[in-house]
Amino acid sequence: MRSEKEMFELIINTAKDDERIRAVFMNGSRTNPNVPKDIFQDYDIVYAVKETQSFIDDKGWPDRFGDILFMQYPDEFPDLYPEEAVPKSDRYAWLMQFKDGTRIDLTVMSIEYAKTNILTDSLCEIILDKDNCLPEIPESSDEMYRVKKPTERIFLCTCNEFWWCLDNVAKGLWRKEIPYVQDMLSQVVRKQLEKVLCWKAGILTDFTVSTGKSAKYLYRWLSPDEWQRYLDTYAGGNVTYIWNAVGIMCDLFYETAKWVAGRLGYDLCEEEALNCMAYLKKVSKLPDDAEDFGYMPGGITSV
């Protein structure tokens, strides 16, 4: 694998030798001092260029960066993520995985587009600017990615979303609709648990940290027991295992939400949580051929 020094020399010398390239800046984990370095960190590089089309037309141009194992041309498939689509005249990217293990996510941007885009990410560092065409930017920081203190309403809505959507998980498990259950858990319910755990990390650090994409660095601020319980909320395709994971998820959310509410001085609808957990328990014990749900005591709650 090529060293960081070798890669930066290649990236910078390519820019210096190409009259079309007027500036270079970098985003991503390599600009964040709080991210541990490892062999899988890629190079998120942007070339600010006079025009993009000549780079796009030259199909062999990416080969100058190394022996490519496989790659992606994300701007050739705008239908996959239409909300992120940008005209090729403004931006074009090559995502390259090399045979030596190195990866570069390389983008060319028109100078005008780069001037605006560079201001949208606080994790950014200018490497080269031949003409001083790029605006001055603050020192690279993960500030825009840090955990934000929730308002009381956001906190209550998050709690309500967590407990309410578990209703869908329960009926899906009773019906043994595993794909539906897994989608509901991963795309909706878990995201609410992730929020309250991140808020706990924020409170513990006076909201000065980022927990990373998908909260992958949460283990730094949770106790080993909390982190293991969070990992235990991931389950496979077995109904019994998923019910167990949901139980762990409920307990962890309830405990953490109470802790967060107490620290922030926010209200917490405990009745909602207790009613939902009682409902889940009842559904988990329903026979597969049940024709009637029965009656549960408890009141209706809302935000």
Question: What is the pLDDT tens value at each position of the chain, 303 positions in all?
Answer: 999 999 999 999 999 999 999 999 999 989 988 888 899 999 999 999 999 999 999 999 999 999 999 999 999 988 888 888 899 999 999 999 999 999 999 999 999 999 999 999 999 999 999 999 999 998 988 888 999 999 999 999 999 999 999 999 999 999 999 999 999 999 999 999 999 999 999 999 999 999 999 999 999 999 999 999 999 999 888 999 999 999 999 999 999 999 999 999 999 989 999 999 999 999 999 998 888 888 876 655 544
What integer pLDDT is reported at residue 160 of this predicted model? Answer: 96
What's the pTM? 0.85
What integer pLDDT is reported at residue 33 of this predicted model? Answer: 85
**Separation of alpha carbons 47 and 31, rounded Å:** 16
**Separation of alpha carbons 254 and 229, rounded Å:** 13
Classify the phi-psi angles of 176: left when phi > 0, otherwise alpha if psi is within -120 to 50, otherwise beta. Answer: left
- Picking from 47, 42, 2, 7, the residue whose alpha carbon sits closest to that of residue 25 is 47
What integer pLDDT is reported at residue 303 of this predicted model? Answer: 45
Domain parsing of the chain, residue ranges: 4-144, 146-284
What H or E segment, with its residue span, contains residue 248?
A: helix 239-264
Residue at 130: amino acid letter: K
User: Tens of pLDDT along 100-116?
Assistant: 999 999 999 999 999 99
Mention every residue, 6+ apart, whose C-beta is less than 8 A from residue 100: 1, 2, 66, 67
Domain 146-284 class in CATH:
mainly alpha
CATH number of 4-144: 3.30.460.10
Mention every residue, 6+ apart, whose C-beta is less than 8 A from residue 274: 298
What integer pLDDT is reported at residue 36 of this predicted model? Answer: 86
What integer pLDDT is reported at residue 45 of this predicted model? Answer: 98
